[in-house]
Structures are given as C-alpha cells and as structure tokens.
C-alpha cells in the first residue's frame, strides 16, 4: 500500500501567506484536484482534506517547513549559562545535517532553523500538525517509507525540488513576478508525472504560495516513487528532520 492522496502545504506563521493544494496520485501520475478556498480557515480545510478520504491511511501531507532542530543545538544549550563561550561551531548548532546535504547536492541552502526567523514557521507547523492529530483523533507521524500508513507527513523544500528538476527556483515570489510563475507552471506541465488542469492556472500564476504548495506535491511524489534521497543516518534524521528531495536530473 502506498499514498494516493497528497496535501501540499506551503507553511507560514500567517494564514495569508500559506498555500495548500490537494492532489491525487494514480498510476504514477499526479493530478491537482483542489486549491485552498481562503474564505475558509486553514485548519478547517486541512482537517477536511486529511480526514474526508475513505481511507485516511492513503493521505500524505508534504510540508514546506522545517520539522526539527539541529541536535548539537539542544546539546550545547542544555547546560549553557549566560556569558559562557559555546565550543560547538555555529554551522553545527544552526544547520541540520539535511540542510548541509541539500546545499551540497542541490546547491540550494535552506534557511537555518536554528538561526533564522524560519524557526517560528517551524514551531507553527509542528503546532498545526499537533492540532490536526487532535482534530482527526489519530496519530499523524512523519513518514520514512512510501509504504507507511497515513495520515502522515514529510518535510519538503519546493525551491530545492524545482532546482533538482532544472526549473527556475528564484525570482518568482513577488506579486509582480507573474511571467516567472507562468514559466515554472509550463515547465511543471512538461513533466510526465504532473497534471495541472487549466482551471488552476489563474490561481497558480496569481499566488506564489499556492504554486509552492503544488511543488510540495511533486516533492511528495518523488518520496513515494523513491526518487528522493534517503538519510544515511535515519536515527539522526528522526531527531532533526529530513528534507525529501531527489538528486538533480542529469543535464
């Protein structure tokens, strides 16, 4: 059994900056089915999409937000007192193993959850997952294999996924960058696994957060199809989190 429903979430602390889409995976092909109607609360829609499936075990939630912190950070701060030097290097404290690997393999450096404002986004994402567990009345663990039971979640990074596919991954976020988003959508539609119906074009072009949520779905497909790189140290990844992204396509 594998996941057949994917919820892509471009997470933010402010609901106005979030994006969310629902997709179906069948015979190795993704079809975008729905986008978030922002007139309804995010939590309400996430619960509906994750819990409305006849078989919740088939639902995977792909979240664009860090879902863990560097292990050396917690170890270094456990006994730290104000004024004392910290012997652990800044890179080890603020950057997770998965962040370093993504930078090395994709040449795209994720924001450092131990040092940047992204920490608030990570905290909010974890709270949101906990509320979903409460709403559904069942666990929503992180998935580590595509055969895992759902509902489950994984961490993804849309910019890294775009770059891995050779698609532009910068300069498309601002409202005025409509042409850049059009180019990304055209490139996504050229992928054999992606079906983005024309009825969603206007929203994907008009909202970068919704577009990122659609790319989260692509990253989830890489996880399900086992194209994404696995952690060499799964024990560490289970503590720090792991960004599921495929290796770059050969050019």
- Mean pLDDT score across all residues of the chain: 94
Predicted pLDDT of residue 157:
98
User: Is 166 a member of any domain?
Assistant: yes
* pLDDT top residue among 201 and 56: 201
- Count of structural domains within the chain: 1
pLDDT in tens, 206-236: 999 999 999 999 999 999 999 999 999 999 9
Q: What is the pTM of this model?
A: 0.95
Residue 245 forms part of a structural domain: no
Q: For the chain, what percent of residues have pLDDT higher than 90?
A: 85
Taking the C-alpha atoms of residue 178 and residue 211, their distance in angstroms, rounded to an integer, is 11
Q: What is the pLDDT of residues 20-39, one digit of tens each?
A: 999 999 988 999 999 999 99
Give residue 251's pLDDT: 64
Is residue 249 included in any domain, yes or no?
Answer: no
- Domain membership of residue 182 (yes or no) is no
| 179 within some domain | no
Q: What is the domain range of residue 214?
A: 5-76+87-170+209-240
The per-residue pLDDT for 55 is: 61
Whole-number CA gyration radius for the chain: 18
Beta-carbon contacts of 137 under 8 Å, excluding residues fewer than 6 positions away, are none
- Name the residue among 229, 230, 227, 188 with its Cα closest to residue 211: 188
**Does residue 69 lie in a domain region?**
yes
Q: Is 22 part of any domain? A: yes
> For residue range 126-167, what is the model confidence (pLDDT) as tens digits?
999 999 999 999 999 999 999 887 799 999 999 999 999 999
Q: Tell me, yes or no, whether 191 lies in a domain.
A: no
């Amino acid at each position: 059994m594998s996941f057949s429903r994917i919820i892509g979430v471009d997470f933010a602390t402010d609901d106005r900056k979030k994006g969310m889409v629902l997709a179906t995976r069948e015979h190795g092909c993704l079809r975008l089915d729905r986008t978030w109607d922002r007139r309804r609360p995010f939590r309400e829609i996430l619960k509906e999409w994750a819990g409305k499936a006849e078989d919740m075990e088939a639902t995977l939630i792909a979240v664009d937000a860090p879902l863990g912190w560097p292990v050396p950070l917690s170890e270094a701060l456990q006994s730290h007192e104000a004024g004392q030097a910290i012997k652990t290097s800044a890179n080890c404290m603020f950057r997770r193993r998965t962040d370093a690997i993504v930078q090395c393999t994709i040449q795209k450096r994720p924001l450092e959850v131990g040092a940047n404002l992204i920490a608030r986004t990570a905290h909010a994402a974890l709270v949101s997952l906990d509320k979903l567990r409460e709403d559904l009345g069942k666990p929503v663990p992180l998935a580590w294999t595509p055969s895992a039971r759902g509902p489950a979640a994984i961490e993804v990074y849309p910019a890294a996924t775009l770059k891995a596919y050779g698609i532009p991954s910068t300069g498309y976020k601002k409202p005025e960058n409509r042409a850049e988003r059009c180019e990304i959508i055209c490139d996504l539609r050229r992928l054999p696994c992606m079906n983005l119906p024309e009825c969603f074009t206007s929203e994907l072009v008009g909202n970068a957060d919704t577009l990122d949520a659609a790319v989260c779905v692509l990253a989830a497909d890489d996880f399900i199809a086992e194209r994404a790189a696995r952690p060499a140290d799964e024990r560490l990844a289970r503590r720090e989190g792991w960004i599921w992204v495929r290796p770059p396509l050969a050019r």
